Amino acid sequence: MNVSFRPTFYRIIKKKSVEEFKPDPYIATVLNCAFWVFYGLPFVHPHSFLVVTINGVGLVFEFVYLTIFYIYATNKGRRKVLLLLGLEALFFVAVALITLLALHGTHKRSLVVGVLCDIFNIMMYVSPLTIMAKVIKTKSVEYMPFWLSLTNFLNGVCWTIYALIHPFDIYVLVSNGIGALSGLIQLILYACYCSCNNGEKNGGDGDNTVSTTVAKGNIELV
């Protein structure tokens, strides 16, 4: 899903401002990718090469996006990004140490890390919904990127299929099934308010219709 952020960051770079965009989805995705990489390691959950590689690439993308966000954010926004990333790093290190030192065997490690992965995967999927209130209030989807919502949906569907055809993986299945549903809700919301915006624009164009009357060599605008 990480490539879906590119239009948003192209806009941020072009305008040299993060405007009303929130860092929540990117910060949530960092922790999500980090835990899935850890989950897919041979000493936690063997035979999960795709999980490690795909989420490893995703993690690199997220750090690039957050770097761009940090550069163009306000001081308050920068403090928020650093604080949340710091807390995530501490939490991840603590979980990794407990998992490796206190839990023995891949079954127990898969259980603990898999549950955490599900929690953070769901957080990542629903994080774009934090802007839902603004969308409903303003009746505008300007700050809820369409490509992020679409990729959320497709990502959830693809990983759900993977969990079913790969040696069955309940942890991949649960969170990504919820993710597909979350993405679908976002797309429905986008469709509703995108239609409203188009309707208002068309209505506005009708009100601004210009008629001309030629009288005594003058053109009157009505």
**Residue pair 73/81 in contact by the 8 Å Cβ criterion:** yes
What CATH class is the domain 118-202? mainly alpha
Q: Determine the Cα–Cα distance for residues 171 and 163; give it in Å rounded to an integer.
A: 8
- What's the pLDDT score for residue 113? 95
pLDDT of residue 150: 86
Q: What is the pLDDT of residue 160?
A: 92
Quote the CA–CA distance of 76 and 152 in Å, as a whole number.
28
Q: State the average pLDDT over residues 16-43.
A: 87
- The pLDDT of residue 219: 35
**Range from 85-99, 141-155, 157-171 carrying the lowest mean pLDDT:** 141-155
Q: What is the 3-state secondary structure (H, E, C) of the chain?
A: CHHHHHHHHHHHHHHCCCCCCCCHHHHHHHHHHHHHHHHCCCCCCCCCHHHHHHHHHHHHHHHHHHHHHHHHCCHHHHHHHHHHHHHHHHHHHHHHHHHHHHCCCHHHHHHHHHHHHHHHHHHHHHHHHHHHHHHHHHCCCCCCCHHHHHHHHHHHHHHHHHHHHCCCCHHHHHHHHHHHHHHHHHHHHHHHHHHHHHHHHHHHHHHCCCCEEEECCEEEEC
- φ/ψ of residue 213, rounded to 5: -125, 125
Tell me: the pLDDT tens digits for 201-222?
555 444 443 333 333 344 333 3
- Higher pLDDT among residues 218 and 31, named by residue: 31
CA distance 189 to 186: 5
Measured between its terminal Cα atoms, the distance across the chain in Å is 50
Separation of alpha carbons 190 and 141, rounded Å: 6
- pLDDT, position 214: 36
pTM over 0.75: no
Task: Using the predicted structure, report yes or no on whether residue 189 has a pLDDT greater than 70.
Answer: yes
The per-residue pLDDT for 55 is 92
pLDDT, tens digit (0-9, with 9 covering 90-100), for 94-125: 999 999 999 999 999 999 999 999 998 887 78
- Domain-by-domain residue ranges, the chain? 1-102, 118-202
Whole-angstrom Cα distance, residue 31 to residue 57?
A: 13
Q: 128-144 pLDDT, tens per residue?
A: 777 777 787 887 777 67
Q: Which residues are CB-contacts of 178 (< 8 A; sequence separation ≥ 6)?
A: 122, 125, 156
Average pLDDT in the 155-173 region?
89
